[in-house]
Structures are given as C-alpha cells and as structure tokens.
Structure 1
Amino acid sequence: MDGNVTIKTIAQKTNFSLTTVSRVLNGTSEKYRISRVTQQIVLDEAKKLGYIPNMAAKTLRSNKSHTVGLIVPSLSNPFFSIVASTVSKMLHAQGYVVLMSDSDNNEKEEKKMLQALQAQNLVGLIAIPLGERRNYELLNQGIIPTVFVDRFFPGFNFYSVSTDHYKSSFQLVQYLINRGHQKIACIQGDEKVISNTYRVQGYRDALRASDLKYYYLGGVSFTEEEGYLETKLLLQKKDRATAILALSDTILLGVLKALKEAKIAVPEEISVVSFDNSSYLDYLEVPVTSIAQPITQIAQLAVKLLLEQINDKSKSKREESEQVILLDSSLISRASVLDLRNR
C-alpha cells in the first residue's frame, strides 16, 4: 500500500472507531473488554497493510516505553531460538519493540547485557537465565516486570514457565529401564542451572526406584563439545553403559559424533535418548528417542504473564508456590533404543 499506514487507515478499512483500533494495537483490549473477534480483525488488517507503530510518539503520549528485553543463553540451541521467535512475534503483534541479546552461555556477558538492557527504559523482560543469580538480584527488587523461561531462582519474585524437568527425566529413564537397560549413563549440562538439577534428580530417583546400582554422571555445559568429550571418557570405562541419557539435543550431537568415531552402532551396541526433541532428530541416521517440550506454549504463556504485569503492576507479586508454572512434556519414541528384555 502506498503512503504511511496509520491507525486512521486501519479504522477506515475495518469500520471500527479510532479508539477501538488504538486500544487493540496498544495491547489494552482486555482492559476495555474488546472482543477477541474484533481484536483479530484489527490485528489481521494491520499486518496486511504493513502497519508499523510509531514507538516514539507512543512513548511520548503514554510517558511509558514500549520496549521489552529478551535474553537467551544461545540462539544456536533450537529450544532457545524457538522461544525467541515466538516471544518476538507475539510482542510485535501487541505493538512492542523487542531488544534481544544472546549471552553465548557466558555469565559475564549476561551481566553486561542485563545492565545494557536496563538502561533502555524497558517496560518488561523475558529471560532464560544462566546459573548466576547475582546477575538478576537488582531486577528482583521489582524495578522491571520479569518472567523467566525454562529456569528460575528459588526465592525470586518472578514468574517462571517451564517443562516439569524432574518428571520428564524420570519418565525417560523409566522408559529405558522398562526395555531392560540397567546401566544408564547421564551426560548433563551446567550444574548451576536449575533445570539441569531437576533433570539429574529425575535420573537418580528413577535408578533408585528400580534398585539399580550403576550410576554415571558427567558433563558441565549444554554444548556439543561437552557431549563429545564426556562420551569419549565414558567409552574408556570397563563397565560400559548400555544406554546414554543426554540432557539436551546439543549434548546429544556430541555424543553421536563420539560414538560414530568409535564405530559403536546405535542402538545395536548402545542406546541413546535426549531432551528437547529438535526437528532434526527425525532425520538423523538413527532417529533418536527424546522428550518433546511444549516450547511454543511455554513462550506464549511467558508473554501473557509479562503483559499482565505490565498492564497491572499488582500482579507482579505472588506467593512463591504460585510463581513456577510447569507444563507436561511428551516422550517421542524412535529407533535409538534397543529392547534388551529378550536377550
């Protein structure tokens, strides 16, 4: 469409009032009880016309920034990139500018990025934090509405949305045990990250529940390199595991590389399972059994919780038991696990 698209243009096209269109595009529809049908018509027309909100004018009128910060550990991880994409699209549709930062799994970089983002007059922040809680202490004072995704720090006044990591890990190990595996090794990520802590606990408790004595835990980061090096070490053990649990798909890639170099066949000689269920798992030489997290739903819920806080500051404080919201995962069974029960 030629010329600048304004709220007036959208009002004329949809036959809604300027006030109604403005409230939908400003993200205040719920406050003024504008129907979802009306909201969708306005948003669809705005997208069709290529409407771009004038954020400077918006800020001057409301005396409030419309900028949200988003910080992720690494966009090379498919889980984090899907979260980032979903969050950005949802917030853009509501008229917000998203400033995204990739901390490259480095706590010092994360701290610098948080400081830089706080200087941008943010109205809110969505973060997938690394393991250093001190980086978020200032935000915990309630200065900026914040929602954590996938991870959290106990005692913080933030909402957090994630998979039930403990339950998922327990289920995955039990899946292996039910197929006759008694020697299951676990390659973990960063010990300081609480999602890793819960996954490891699920691994341990599943072994204990079946009275299994074999236990192997290695790894210090959610990286392909760590999966590779830890698998190399694991293969030197005399008492070799019959299955490997990789606590992320990035770790999994390193595991598979080490096994291929050692000419160890999956699943004939060793079974492999993982977390995250990245889309490429179906296209590997041997498709890998994995825990599928509801990533899109996690990101969508995080955005809704953030917008609630932005529009109603009284909702930013809740009892700790109400703050951590856990969603169920699904176990996707593929060809990477050998059934040992008939051997």
Structure 2
Amino acid sequence: MDGHVTIKTIAKNTNFSLTTVSRVLNGTSEKHRISKTTQKIILEEAKKLGYIPNMAAKTLRSNRSHTVGLIVPSLSNPFFSIVASTVSKMLHNQGYVVLMSDSDNNEKEERKMLQALQAQNLVGLIAIPLGKRQNYELLNQSTIPTVFIDRFFSDFSFYSVSTDHYKSSFQLVEHLIEMGHRKIACIQGDEHVVSNTYRVDGYREALKVHGLTYQYLGGVSFTEEEGYLETKLLLQKKDRPTAILALSDTILLGVLKALKEAKISVPEEVSVVSFDNSSYLDFLEVPVTSIAQPITQIAQLAVRLLLEQIDDRGLSYREESERIILLDSTLIFRSSVADLRNR
C-alpha cells in the first residue's frame, strides 16, 4: 500500500459501496441494518490495510467532534488501567478519538484536566472521579454526555456503572466469619470516595448481622504506603485481629509488607482478603482471596451508555435507580484465609 488508505480503497477491495463501507466504519451498521457478515468483511479489510479515519474530515462532514474524554485517578492501579484500555479500544473501534488523562490522585490536577478536556469540544466524557463533587459541578450543568465508572454522585444526572460494592464487601466479610474469624480489621481508602463508603458499610453491616463487637477501621487512601502504615499501627495494639480486609489490592501490598517485616505468617497468624483481584494475586507467596470486579463488563456498559447518549436515543434523564447501574462481583477463594472453626 502507498500509506494512504481511504474508504474508497476498502470499498474497491471488498466490492461494497462507499455508503456501506462508510456506515460500517462510522459505527452505524445496526441503524442501517447492515449484516454482521458484511460488517466483519469490511472491518477485517480496514484492519488489514491499517485504515486510520480522518477525524478532521469526519468532524467537518458531521458538524460535530468525534473526540471523547477519559479521565482516571491513576493508571498505576490495575483496575483503572484495565478500564482505560477497554474503553479506549471500544471507542477507537467506533471511530472516536480518545483523550485520556491521569489525575495522579490529585484533585487540583483533576480540575485542570477537566477544564482542558472541556475546551476540546468533546462529544462525550467517561470519568472515574477522585471523590469530591466540586470538580464536576459545572460539568453536571453542561450538555456533554457523561458516564461515571466505579464512583458517582447520586444526585447528579450522569449515568454510572460500578460493582455493587456494599454487597461485595458484605460477602467477603461473611466468608471470614464463616471461617471462624471474630476479630476482623478493615483498612480503607479515601473516605470521600463512594465506592469506599459502600465497602465500609458492607464491612460494618456484616459484623452487626453476626453480632460481632470487634471493629477496627483505619486508612485514608488507596495506596500501598497507607496499607503498610496502618498495618504497622494495627500490630501495635494488644487486641490484634485474626483477619485483615484490605479495600484494594494496592492497600493489600502494604499490608503484606508490614506483616512480613513483623514475621507474622499468612494465614497461620493473620488472614488477609482484598478487593480488585489483580492478576498478580495468584503469584504471591500466599495467593490472596479477593473480590473480582467485572471490570471489562463495567467498561463496556459505560461505553454503550455514552454512545447511546451521543446518538440521542432518549437517555437524557432517568430516575436515580435507573441511572446508577450496579453489577455483581465474584469472590475468588485462595489460600490466605485460615480456618478457625475448630480452634
């Protein structure tokens, strides 16, 4: 190829009309009832030839931008990086340019990035907010289609997709209780983040339902350092827990580091469980029981909701119960929880 692949090239190679090829590449196949077989042939040819859509020309033709903003708290967190990768791939396949920003868990940076993205004439935005609502107040009053992932503000008009954090946390703590644990500590992340709030609520409710009085809650951020420092403090207490619930895998790494330094064995002396089910959990010295969030499905659903709003399919407003979509998680059992039922 001469390096300049156009829809005319693809139309010629596949023997389909320019109109058909254009509709497939613009992501409007379903609307125009183009068969799956035809879509597959055209998309495979476009991929083979290395077709890159001319977004400037596309914008001029449609009189609207084809740029979507994506803002995440930190790409160093496996959960956020998988979300970002899935969202970007899906939107690219639909002919959109994705402007991604990493706020580095900094609210001032998040505000700057939101302002910069809004200046790009976005057609839509997908965001994982840091937690405080102020940065998104103006956005809530705008007409930019927006979808939140994992975190949300219930009184905002945006759609949001996340794991059922309360139910997941309750399930995780209940597993520890079923294994005979009566002293369960919880190390949380940022208390301003709604997902953290629901996880803490699930932890507390499980203890309450089972009549357990021991409760320990510490932590202020979803970081390895926070997990490390909080575990150090926890180990200084006379009444130590038999199990520690880390509300993220990043926190978990700090917990494990502190336990190792103190020469406390897992799970013989202290059991540990976590959220996020990162791929490395299977390869730790003691594989860790964890909540696996349906990350790919969350990202895919968020993109679908955004595209439906962009296409103006009647999703401008819904009741809170319809706007906030919660997906079930899966508890992955490994060897980090000791069985105390016969002790």
Is 1:290 the counterpart of 2:290? The answer is: yes
Partner of 2:339: 339
Please show how residues 36-47 of structure 1 align to structure 2 within 5 Å: 36-47=36-47
- Following superposition of structure 1 onto structure 2, how do residues 18-167 of structure 1 map, counting pairs within 5 Å? 18-167=18-167
Q: Distance in 2 between matches of 1:79 and 1:17?
A: 42
1:58-90 residue CA offsets vs partner (Å, 9 max, x unmatched): 111111111000000000000000000000011
Counterpart CA distance in 1 for 2:83 and 2:267 is: 31
Aligned to 2:190: 190
Gaps of 5+ in 1: none
> What SS does the aligned partner of 1:104 have?
coil
RMSD across aligned C-alpha pairs, in angstroms?
1.0
Give the SS at the match of 2:129. coil
Q: Aligned-pair distance for 1:47?
A: 1.3
Alignment-derived partner of residue 242 in structure 1: 242
Give the match for residue 320 of structure 1: 320
Partner-residue secondary structure (3-state), 1:318: coil
* Mapped partners of 1:136, 1:166: distance in 2: 24
Worse-superposed segment, 93-102 or 30-39: 30-39
How far apart, CA to CA, are the structure 2 residues paired with 1:328 and 1:190? Answer: 22
Aligned residue for 1:137, secondary structure, equals: helix
Calculate the TM-score normalised by the size of structure 2.
Answer: 0.98
The C-alpha deviation readout for 1:40-73, integer Å capped at 9, x for no partner, is: 3322221121100001111111111110000000
Q: Which amino acid aligns with 2:125?
A: L
Offset of 1:313 from its aligned partner?
5.9
2:282, 2:176 → 1: CA distance? 19
Superposition pairs of residues 301-316 of structure 1, within 5 angstroms? 301-312=301-312, 314-316=314-316
Residues 157-210 of structure 1 show CA distances to partners (whole Å, capped at 9, x for unaligned) of 111011110000000000000000000000000101000000000000000010
Q: Structure 2 CA distance, aligned partners of 1:253 and 1:284? A: 10
Q: Residue 277 of structure 1 corresponds to which residue in structure 2? A: 277
1:39 and 1:321 map into 2 onto residues whose CA distance is 35
- The one-letter code matched in structure 2 to 1:128 is I
Q: Within 2, Cα distance between the matches of 1:157 and 1:224?
A: 34
Q: Distance in 2 between matches of 1:71 and 1:301?
A: 17
Structure 2 residue matching 1:167: 3-state secondary structure: helix
> Taking every aligned residue pair, what percent have the same amino acid on both sides?
85
Q: Does 1:230 align with 2:234?
A: no
Which amino acid is the alignment partner of residue 100 of structure 1? M
User: How far apart, in 1, do the equivalents of 2:175 and 2:63 lie?
Assistant: 55
